[in-house]
Amino acid sequence: MNARIKQLFSSMDHQSIAYVFSGNATIKTADQQYPFQVNKNFFYLTGLELHQSILVLIKHKKEDVILFAPIRSKEKEKWEGILPSFDAIKDITGIQNIQDRVTFDAFHASMFTTLRSSLYGEIKNIYLDISQTDRHCQDVVNFSNQLKSNYPEITIQSNSHALKQMRTLKDIEEIQQIKEAIKITHDGLQGLVKTLKETKKEHLLHAAFVYELNKQHSKEAFDTIIASGKHATILHYIDNNDDIPNNALVLCDLGAQFKQYNADITRTYPASGKFTERQKALYQLVLDVNQEMIAWIEPGKSFAEFKALGKEKLAEKALNIGLISKKEDISKYYYHGLGHHLGLDVHDPCDYDMPLKEGMVLTVEPGIYIEEEGIGIRIEDDILVTKDGYENLSKAIPKTIHDIENLFK
């Protein structure tokens, strides 16, 4: 049994079952589906990107693990490809009891029979991976509703918080995957900057970034933002389809995904290759806060402190250069949080009440957005909290004014 499954068992009461669903591909049109995206908690516990599968944990006198996985007929394999064998799944997951997915309904119903009760004891609790964002669209919600209808005596509990706490702290392997995603992102940014020297179109910069990801069998961690000029004041501008003015700044918020783990990097470039004096002053303001807040990170501090102090520093520096006349006006030019946890999800669903601890990976992303000047600047790095402080996982990606201007020479 792998360590993550053992840890989840430790959060469960006795005489209980936990079900974790891998998910299904969503229907796109009459004859197509959207690309399958595995439930990240299922992947976290099994390492599998396998649709229509269910992980079952039974906690009674002992702890039993069963994985229900689909079997594809030879005829269907000709259309949809070959699924991993049960032996291959055992090698990947360490789970020895693998059963055909089509037998799950009968197994589940049997857990409430007298015969099964004599083996496992009476089941009192069922744990489901239900988060707030899942409530209207996931199969697990339908399953939960059926449980309530068929077994009203059973207590249904969410194990989402336990999984959040587990995922908040990354192990060595997870950190390595994030580092690889950042490296690919860096390569993509190099291709993007090269393209920016030659052309002034947002969509071609986007294409250059994706091309590099494709070369490395990677994909975008999220919808890439290539926002020039006034578009950079819109936080989630993803049209990426405008011409880039010669004197504009280009805000690039992007990331690669590697083995389900994500990078999230933002860099802001001068389209001309050189910052104007006004752009330099604003850029340096954001860079100073980025660097100061990275240096502030260490175990024991709180995420709430992190966000509040970052905003305070932005306000002080904006006041010093005359951008605002009083600190509270910073909200006009800065209207998002300073960062978030990063991992299997770009905005990883972690325990934000937990003090900073070794193994957390955070983004640090201060920004300034001045709509009336058509200027948006954000600088974002991915930071690992270490035993004694921090490690900037994206430090190799240039961000000082000098280093960025050198990229265009």
Kind plus residue range of the DSSP H or E element containing 257: strand 256-258
Which tens digit of pLDDT belongs to each residue from 85-105? Answer: 999 999 999 999 999 999 999
Specify the pLDDT at position 132: 56
**Contacts by residues 166-169 (CB-CB < 8 Å, ≥ 24 positions apart):** 166/4, 166/7, 166/8, 166/44, 167/41, 167/44, 167/343, 167/344, 167/348, 167/349, 167/350, 168/341, 168/348, 168/350, 168/351, 168/354, 168/357, 168/359, 168/360, 169/357, 169/358, 169/359, 169/360
CATH topology of domain 3-167: Creatine Amidinohydrolase; Chain A, domain 1 (3.40.350)
Q: To the nearest 10°, report the CA torsion of 60, 62, 63, 67.
A: -90
For the chain, what are the domain ranges? 3-167, 169-407
For 246, the token pair is: 């010669």
pLDDT digit string, tens, across residues 126-171: 999 886 565 555 678 888 888 888 888 889 999 999 999 999 999 9
Taken in order 307, 308, 313, 314, the sign of the CA dihedral is positive
Retrieve residue 318's tokens.
């904006």
pLDDT at 136: 52
For the stretch 15-35, pLDDT in tens is: 999 999 999 888 888 778 888
Question: In the prediction, which pLDDT does 138 show?
Answer: 67
**CATH T-level assignment (fold) for domain 169-407:** Creatine Amidinohydrolase (3.90.230)
Q: Are strands 125-128 and 155-158 parallel, antiparallel or unpaired?
A: parallel
pTM given for the model: 0.94
Rounded CA Rg of the chain: 24
Mean pLDDT of 174-189: 98
Per-residue DSSP letter, 343: S
pLDDT reported for residue 134? 54
Alpha-carbon span 306 to 291, nearest angstrom: 13
Residue 144, pLDDT score: 87
Share of the chain above pLDDT 70, in %: 98
* Residue 228 token pair: 């020039």
Name 377's bridge partners: 368
When pLDDT is cut at 50, 70 and 90, the band that residue 61 belongs to is confident
User: Do the Cβ atoms of 311 and 330 come closer than 8 Å?
Assistant: yes
Q: Which of these, 86, 104, 85, lies nearest to 95 by C-alpha position?
A: 86
Q: What is the pLDDT of residues 294-322, one digit of tens each?
A: 999 999 999 999 999 999 999 999 999 99
Residue 112: its pLDDT value, please? 83
Pairing of strands 98-100, 125-128: unpaired
Find the mean pLDDT for residues 339-356: 95
CB of 385 within 8 A of CB of 287? no
Compute the residue count for the chain. 409
Would you give the DSSP letter of residue 243? B
The yes-or-no verdict on residue 195 having pLDDT over 90 is: yes
- Using pLDDT thresholds of 50, 70 and 90, give the confidence band for residue 357: very high
d(CA 108, CA 128): 14
The whole-angstrom separation of Cα 242 and Cα 228 is 8
Contact 232, 377 (CB under 8 A): yes
How is residue 25 annotated by DSSP?
A: P
Nearest CA-CA partner of 283 in 367, 170, 365 = 367
Closest CA to 213 of 181, 170, 174: 181
Give CA separation, 393 vs 25, 102, 271, in Å. Answer: 33, 44, 26
Lowest average pLDDT, out of 24-28, 69-73, 240-244, 367-371, goes to 24-28
